[in-house]
Structure 1
């Protein structure tokens, strides 16, 4: 795990994958984030999780966490280019690959 503070700590972002929209609010500690599903089949789901991140070549970030129900999520987020890839495995082992926009969220 990296010891640097996540560069997006204290900021919130909206992801739009078409059939699923969410907000991700990174806590100022750079160690936890709160997600909220705002549209789609899981609308209303929310949680606060610990996450890990790594910077990637080209300025993108790999961000991963595990939700309370056991679901696992990995994002490849390009904050500057405003694009997000998400790889999500549900507790019953369904696997999803999502791609969409990523933009700052004004709360």
Structure 2
């Protein structure tokens, strides 16, 4: 049972696709999953405010949206006010053409 492995591991950070984390919240609320992460990081998919509240309630954790891509798994995170912030001091984004040559900025 996947819940058994997570229960034994007791992760401090729970990170995954938002819809999968929502399913894990169901397991937590049903009592089959019994973990207490400090942070729950939702990746790749948007969820409603009510789903955020339900996940936060299920785990008693800080819930954050995480932006990522193949080139940068931690491109940005959501703040306490719910706004996304790109780690512009960590990552340089440069548009290129099919031959990987820099392109002009969009206007």
Instruction: Identify the TM-score tier after normalising by the shorter chain.
Output: under 0.3
Bigger relative contact order (CA 8 A; separation at least 6) = 1
TM-score (norm 2): 0.27
More strand by share: 1
* Larger of the two Rg values belongs to structure: 2
TM-score (norm 1): 0.27
